[in-house]
Amino acid sequence: MATESNTEKLLERSGLSLPRGEVYLIEDRCKGCGLCIAFCPKHVLVVSDKFNKKGYHPPELVEEEPVNVCINCGFCERICPEFAIFVKEKKEE
C-alpha cells in the first residue's frame, strides 16, 4: 500500500533503518487465498509448492536482501482472513 512505501522512503532519506520482522504462520489455518502474497509491500511472500492438511498452498518466505525483506509492517497479518499469518519485530542479534 502507498502508505508503507512512503514511510519507507522517508525513513531511507532520514537515514534511519527500517524495522525488521519475522513472519509466523499457522499452516493449517491457511486457505491459500494469496492476499498476504499479493499485498505485501516488500513482496517477501510467494506461494509454496507444498500442501497443508486441507490441500491448500500456504505462503512461504523469499527474503532477498536488500529489497524483499520483511519490515514488520503487519499488513499480511491484518489482511489475512484466517488468523493464520502474523509478524513479530525481529530483535537485532
Partner 1 sequence: MSIIKADTHPLDRYLRTERLPHVWCPGCGIGTVLGAYLRAMEKIGMDPEKSIMVSGIGCTGRAAGYVRMDSFHTTHGRAIPFAVGLKAARPDLNVTVFSGDGDLFAIGGNHIIHAARRNANITVVAINNFTYGMTGGQLAPTTPETGITTTSPYGNVESPFNLAGLIAVAGASYVARWTSLHVRRLEKSLEKALKKRGFSFVEVLSQCPTAYGRRNRMRDPVDTLKYFQKYAVVKNHVNPLEGVIEPNKPFVVGEFLDAPEEPTFEDKLWELTKAEFLHTSQAERSEWIIEHRRHLEVLSRIISGKGGEE
Residue 89 engages partner 1 in binding (rule: CB under 8 A): no
3 grid coordinates:
502508505
Q: C-alpha 23: how far from its chain's center?
A: 6
Nearer to partner 1, 71 or 80 (CB): 80
Give yes or no for a cis peptide into 81 (omega within 30° of 0).
no
* Interatomic CA distance for residues 90 and 69, integer angstroms: 11
**Site mask for partner 1 (CB under 8 A), range 27-66, x = bound:** xxx-xxxxx--xx--------------x-x-xxxx-x---
Contact 45, 62 (CB under 8 A): yes
Residue 82 engages partner 1 in binding (rule: CB under 8 A): yes
Q: Which residues bind partner 1 (CB under 8 A)?
A: 1, 3, 22-29, 31-35, 38-39, 54, 56, 58-61, 63, 75, 77-84, 86
